[in-house]
Amino acid sequence: MSLAVGVIGAGVMGAEHARILRENVSGAHLAAICDADPARAAAAGPGARFFADPHALIASDAVAAVVIASPDATHAEFTLAAIRLGKPVLCEKPIAAEAAAGLGVVEAEAALGRRLVQLGFMRRFDAAYGEMRRARQDGSIGAIRLLHNIHRNRAAPGWFTGAMALTNSFVHEIDISRWLLGSEMVAAQIFPAAGGGPLMIVMRTEKGEIVSTEVNVNAGYGYHVHAELVGSQGTIEMAAPARTLCNLAGARSFAFPPDWIPRFAQAYRTQTQAWVDAIAAGTSAGASAWDGYVTTVIAERLVAALDAGQTVEIALPPRPALYAEAA
């Protein structure tokens, strides 16, 4: 039986989730869509039932599971509504605009006693990151010492603030670093470049590993994500983000995509299929509500230290038993 999914939000990510459900996923279908703009919703979900009220979509008997791709400030509210009704959720990051609200989601799910929430940290389903994680797990490059990350966007829109470089961009590096290393972050420091340019964030894990991340939301040349694990016996890093190389005018080159959707297109498809398959099997996949909460805690602490340049200690409450597995 096909899983009836409702999508809340028909912006860039909501429309992409709706398209994937229509075209790329087996075992599920796009049943409903909700957006403040009916025309935008109709374009993203042709044939799907339209809802003007997100809570009505969540409560509808025509919807068995929910994708939340609405503005960040609404994520916790809609996720909690789905938890109360026992409906599985794939929620775009962040889990909440504030860590306290994210913890509320964790506590609600823990009280229920089963995982219903998967966070949209799609990099966990990217093939390159998967190979890097396996290299750590099988010990092929020795004990891990360092992780270097680069996160560059071509250009930030006018409404994108300095804090959002942490809360909307760097959160991906927080999550994927925890997942790659199997470690928790215990301290972090941020170094802003002069003139409002890139940020350099350095984190330290409970095992003493160092994680460096450049976040540059105005790189100019395209969307570029890169990572390299440094072990005691060798390294493993991402190759060029392209399937082909062009030899032209005395140079060999490849192109960078304009944004994250082409770069992680397969990861988004794999993520959604894994979510649908996990629901059918009564299991869970991907980043949990706890993972989402942890990323928000770290980002929130770094925002508070953005101007001070001080090292921040990262303390977390006890992890509920529901999330006992490693990151």
Interior CA angle at 265 toward 248 and 240, to 5°?
35
251-253/246-248 β-pairing? antiparallel
Instruction: Give pLDDT, residue 316.
Output: 93
Does 242 lie in the same domain as 194?
Answer: yes
81 falls within a domain: yes
Instruction: Give pLDDT, residue 326.
Output: 53
Does 230 lie in the same domain as 218?
Answer: yes
Mean pLDDT of the chain: 95
Task: Give mean pLDDT, residues 196-202.
Answer: 88
Distance CA 29, CA 11 (A): 19
Please list, residue by residue across 266-295, b when 16 or more beta carbons sit within 10 angstroms of its beta carbon and e when fewer do.
ebbbbbbbbbbbbbeeeebbbbbbbbbbbb
320 falls within a domain: no
pLDDT at residue 44 is higher than 90: yes
Q: What token pair was written down for 317?
A: 């409450």
Does 113 lie in the same domain as 140?
Answer: no
Among 264, 259, 281, 286, smallest CA distance to 17 is for 264
Does 257 lie in the same domain as 211?
Answer: yes
Distance CA 276, CA 133 (A): 23
53 falls within a domain: yes
Q: Output the domain CATH number for residue 157.
A: 3.30.360.10
271 falls within a domain: yes
Instruction: Give pLDDT, residue 160.
Output: 82
Q: Output the domain CATH number for residue 49.
A: 3.40.50.720
In the DSSP assignment, the letter for residue 25 is -
Distance CA 71, CA 15 (A): 13
What percentage of the chain carries pLDDT values higher than 70? 98
274 falls within a domain: yes
pTM assigned to the model: 0.94
Does 34 lie in the same domain as 106?
Answer: yes
pLDDT in tens, 131-146: 999 999 999 999 999 9
Does 178 lie in the same domain as 46?
Answer: no
Instruction: Give pLDDT, residue 307.
Output: 73
Does 301 lie in the same domain as 173?
Answer: yes
Does 116 lie in the same domain as 10?
Answer: yes
Does 239 lie in the same domain as 157?
Answer: yes
Instruction: Give pLDDT, residue 161.
Output: 76
164 and 97 Cβ atoms separated by less than 8 Å: no
Instruction: Give pLDDT, residue 162.
Output: 73
pLDDT at residue 168 is higher than 60: yes
pLDDT in tens, 284-318: 999 999 999 999 999 999 998 877 678 999 999 99
SS3 (DSSP) at 24: coil
Q: Count of domains in the chain?
A: 2
Does 147 lie in the same domain as 106?
Answer: no
pLDDT in tens, 239-288: 987 788 999 999 999 999 999 999 999 999 999 999 999 999 999 999 99
Task: Give mean pLDDT, residues 166-172.
Answer: 93
Does 109 lie in the same domain as 34?
Answer: yes
Instruction: Give pLDDT, residue 308.
Output: 67
Structural domain that includes position 102 = 3-122+267-288
321 falls within a domain: no
Beta bridge partners of 119: 91, 287
Instruction: Give pLDDT, residue 197.
Output: 79
326 falls within a domain: no
157 pLDDT band, cuts 50/70/90, is: confident
Does 162 lie in the same domain as 303?
Answer: yes
163 pLDDT band, cuts 50/70/90, is: confident
